[in-house]
Structure 1
Amino acid sequence: MVRIVGIAGSLRPDSYSQLALELAAQKTQELGAEVEVLDLRKMNLPFCDGGDDYPDYPDVKRLQDAFTRADGLILVTPEYHGSVSGVLKNALDLMSFDHLAGKVAGFISILGGQSNNNALNDLRVILRWVHAWSIPEQVAIGQAWKAFSPEGKLLDEKLSQRLEQFAQSLVENTRKLRGVD
């Protein structure tokens, strides 16, 4: 079975990034994948200092272990100042090639303004650097403050279809590239 882990790089209580992650996880599960969502808002992670060991922070090991077990990744980031959030970058920096290499990754960005690909492109560079595979499908949710219904669903049908295509691509490419059913 395809095992996916997802994280969102936002610490806001009412995070649109976390909401998008939950939607993507649900769609991925509907396709038969096992999905583990880690909520960085509930984890105690230090700033990465370049070291390999963080004994005072058991959540670092929990994060690393989840990524080690996973075949694929869902990474969601708000776009801050034209790039990936520091929260997501720090979580990725706390991991090494051992945790990330060979994984299949899909990316979603959340923007307060118009959709663009800056943070998504930066995630591609970061994940390529650690030898992960990036799927071609990606989702940018612009003007997030009006993109979701009060129930947490995407209001734009085309955007919802893109999220379904994203999930389909993540599961199919993970099966192919990781050799799992």
Structure 2
Amino acid sequence: MSLNIVLVAGSSQAESQSAKVAAFLAKRLQALQLCTTPGIIDLGLAPLPLWPASDDHGIWADYAALLREADALVVLTPEWHGMACPALKNFFVHAGYRELGHKPALLVGISSGQGGAYPLSELRASSYKNCRICYLPEQLIVRQVETVMNSTQSAGAEDLRIRRRADWSLTVLAEYARALANMNARISIDDPEFANGM
């Protein structure tokens, strides 16, 4: 069963390392036959207006339509001063239950050095509350990102290791997507009292 998987490259910079890794992972999803045509939302190439802007017919409308059709997501965040980047935080105040509710997501940290873990903890702590995205207990951290995932062939042992870990993580994501298929439709949030998380 081919899944519909959307990757969100959370950097606000054009031609970012996050976008590079998202493109690499999209190709791996195809090579592993998990997804025929992965969707990519690149917040550096097509940024969202700062919330609470009305964007019902603009870029958010396009993103929302893509997300509503997704079975699962891959959320990539660079580490900026130990934090998740503002463009991605802004994305999560735009996105709601209809787009992300009860959909599994793999978190991917991007670091030019040895970091990358803090933004993932930040997103796990706060970004799920109202949209109800379901982060996997697994995560992927791409460290020394400028030196890995740059071509079809690995550049060395560390590049090979992170590629193997990426393939395994994407396979785990696919299993969660199959297990949680249509969960959003099976759980009603019609009662306004429970529309937001606690």
TM-score, length of structure 1 as denominator length = 0.86
Task: Give yes or no for contact 2:107–2:139 (8 Å, CA) kept in 1.
Answer: yes
The structural deviation recorded for 1:116 is: 4.2
Aligned-partner residue type, residue 108 of structure 1:
V
Q: Any idea what the Cα deviations from partners look like across 1:42-69, whole Å, max 9, x if unmatched?
A: 32521012x6x424x6101111111111
Q: Any idea what the Cα deviations from partners look like across 1:105-162, whole Å, max 9, x if unmatched?
A: 011111122134211122222343232211222111122233344x376542111111
Query: 1:105/1:127 Cα in 2 relative to 1: closer, same or farther (>3 Å)?
Result: farther
Q: In the alignment, which residue of structure 1 is the partner of 2:35?
A: 33
Q: Any idea what the Cα deviations from partners look like across 1:8-29, whole Å, max 9, x if unmatched?
A: 1113333111111111111222
- Secondary structure of 1:128's aligned partner: coil
- What percentage of residue pairs aligned between the two structures are identical? 24
- Structure-1 separation of matches of 2:94 and 2:19: 20
Q: In the alignment, which residue of structure 2 is the partner of 1:92?
A: 92
Moved more, 165-174 or 118-127: 118-127
Larger radius of gyration: 2
Aligned-partner residue type, residue 140 of structure 1:
I
**Unaligned 5+ residue runs, structure 2?**
184-198
- 1:99-110 pair list within 5 angstroms: 99-110=99-110
Q: In the alignment, which residue of structure 1 is the partner of 2:24?
A: 23
Q: In the alignment, which residue of structure 2 is the partner of 1:113?
A: 113
Task: Give yes or no for contact 2:79–2:115 (8 Å, CA) kept in 1.
Answer: no
Aligned: 1:173 with 2:176: yes
Q: In the alignment, which residue of structure 1 is the partner of 2:141?
A: 140
Task: Give yes or no for contact 2:106–2:136 (8 Å, CA) kept in 1.
Answer: yes
Aligned: 1:2 with 2:39: no
Aligned-partner residue type, residue 14 of structure 2:
P
The structural deviation recorded for 1:40 is: 2.1
Aligned-partner residue type, residue 147 of structure 2:
K
**Unaligned 5+ residue runs, structure 1?**
none
Match of 1:45 among 39, 48, 51: 48
- Secondary structure of 1:134's aligned partner: strand
The structural deviation recorded for 1:6 is: 1.1
Task: Give yes or no for contact 2:9–2:42 (8 Å, CA) kept in 1.
Answer: yes
Task: Give yes or no for contact 1:28–1:171 (8 Å, CA) kept in 2.
Answer: no
**Count of aligned positions:** 176
Task: Give yes or no for contact 2:111–2:145 (8 Å, CA) kept in 1.
Answer: yes
